[in-house]
Amino acid sequence: MASKHSIKRNFKVFVVLFSLWLSYGSQAAFAQASAVPTDAETIKAGESLFKQNCKACHSVQSRVVGPALKNVYDRKDLPWIYAFVKNPVKVIKSGDEYAVNLFEEYNQIEMTGFPSFTDEEIGSILAYVKDQTDNAVVAEPATADLKADPAASPSPYVNAIIIGGLVVLVILLIVLAMIISKLRSYLSNTELSEEDQEYIAKPDGIFATLRNKALIGIVIAVVTAVVTKATIDALFTIGVQQGYAPTQPIKYSHKVHAGDYKIDCNYCHTGVRKSKNANIPSPNICMNCHSAIDKGANTGTEEIQKIYDAVENNTPIEWVRVHNLPDLAYFNHSQHVEVGKVACQTCHGPVEEMEVVKQYANLTMGWCINCHRDTPLNTKGNGYYDKLVEIHEGKGEFTVAENGGLDCAKCHY
């Protein structure tokens, strides 16, 4: 039979062991979550990284192309997550069971790797994910900002009001003229004093002015000038398709992809940095994501289904070409985008805000030439220009035009 003393001691040992176990257990469950930073600055940095790099495929709360990132730090430890984000293919190829299963579950879609990210940067994304999980608010529907803001486009209404006003004015004038002529004929049939009759016969204000020869001359001159100017302007725009925005076979939206989901232009227009042509993506590129996303917030399944039809029937999607220079002109994308570092938006406008792409610039020869006259060569870090810069030391900036950018043969075959 144990003494009172030893029972007490056993109890002490038990308490110590129990509390050790408790603290160990809770640490194991929350170790990762508590290692995720929670300060506002890191969360903000993570938010912008997430939106620029991950949002196309991930959401915090729900499955998109990849898994919901909610609580991912409870599923795997941080070093694993860092390694996976930097190079997912490597982790999967290494035979990591969790990664392989995930890859299978997600239809073998390869997540893009982010080898340039540091552990801190990935940690900040997790901080943002954790913040979104803990302070979960009902997500705003992604469509909210897609709806046209009526205040932002008042022009149709303004035009309608102006035209309506003009029509009313013309009708009023006609009615007034009719009243005048009725009154005149009524009065001429009544007995009036000589003085009154003279007064009525006298041409009144408006009609007198209208019969004034000088005024008629001026009006004719002005009208002729306006018509001539309009005709000349119209002749200059023959073949110019500025603003052209054809309806496309699939309601593909740059605003959704390049705007909301920040997918890089280069992801789809694969040739733009290395060749003459930018390339329009094949349905296979769409399928990288749409094998998993079969529904859009605005168009439901209808438009995305057309991608599946194209892939199944092996038929190309017949996109309507928007920009088209005549054959006599030569334009090269890589020359401008890669060498000249000209942003797409300079020539194509804010494509990431367009539901339907439209031709933003007029693409005339004058447009090319003017930019070549105004734009300095981008010689920094370009070995090709080192010699040139050396020779012209101290002459200030060197425009494209001065480098031969106005030679007919550069743009014409």
Of residues 31-70, which lie at the interface with ligand HEC (CB under 6 A)?
Answer: 53-54, 56-58, 65-67
Establish if 311 lies at the interface with ligand HEC (CB under 6 A).
Answer: no
How many angstroms separate the most distant Cα atoms in the chain?
Answer: 149
The size of the chain, in residues, is: 413
Q: Is residue 310 within 8 Å of residue 316, measured between CB atoms?
A: yes
Which residue, 197 or 332, has its beta carbon nearer to ligand HEC?
332
Establish if 113 lies at the interface with ligand HEC (CB under 6 A).
Answer: no
Measured in whole angstroms, how far is the alpha carbon of residue 318 from the centre of its chain? Answer: 22
How many residues of this chain interact with ligand HEC, rule: CB under 6 A? 103
d(CA 77, CA 73): 6
Which residue, 45 or 344, has its beta carbon nearer to ligand HEC?
344
Q: Is residue 323 within 8 Å of residue 359, measured between CB atoms?
A: yes
Contact pick of 43, 45, 127, 272 for ligand HEC (by CB under 6 A): 272
d(CA 223, CA 62): 64
Contact pick of 87, 197, 277, 334 for ligand HEC (by CB under 6 A): 277
Contact pick of 36, 43, 83, 102 for ligand HEC (by CB under 6 A): 102
Nearest-5° Cα angle at 385, 384 to 386: 100
Q: Does residue 162 sit in helix, strand or coil?
A: helix
Establish if 91 lies at the interface with ligand HEC (CB under 6 A).
Answer: no
Contact pick of 78, 96, 367, 402 for ligand HEC (by CB under 6 A): 367
Establish if 228 lies at the interface with ligand HEC (CB under 6 A).
Answer: no
User: Which residues does 309 contact at the CB level (< 8 Å), separation at least 6?
Assistant: 315
Establish if 263 lies at the interface with ligand HEC (CB under 6 A).
Answer: yes
Residue 87 in tokens: 């190079």
Establish if 326 lies at the interface with ligand HEC (CB under 6 A).
Answer: yes
Which residue, 197 or 308, has its beta carbon nearer to ligand HEC?
308
Let me know how many helices (H) and strands (E) the chain has, helices first. Answer: 20, 0
Residue 46 in tokens: 């993570």
d(CA 161, CA 147): 24
x-marked contacts with ligand HEC along 135-164 as a string, rule CB under 6 A: -------x----------------------
Establish if 319 lies at the interface with ligand HEC (CB under 6 A).
Answer: yes
Establish if 258 lies at the interface with ligand HEC (CB under 6 A).
Answer: yes
Q: Is residue 86 within 8 Å of residue 95, measured between CB atoms?
A: no
Q: Which of residues 289-308 bind ligand HEC (CB under 6 A)?
A: 289-290, 293, 296-299, 303-304, 307
Report in angstroms how near the CB of residue 151 gets to ligand HEC at its nearest: 23
Establish if 342 lies at the interface with ligand HEC (CB under 6 A).
Answer: yes
**Residue 376 per-residue DSSP state:** B
Establish if 400 lies at the interface with ligand HEC (CB under 6 A).
Answer: yes
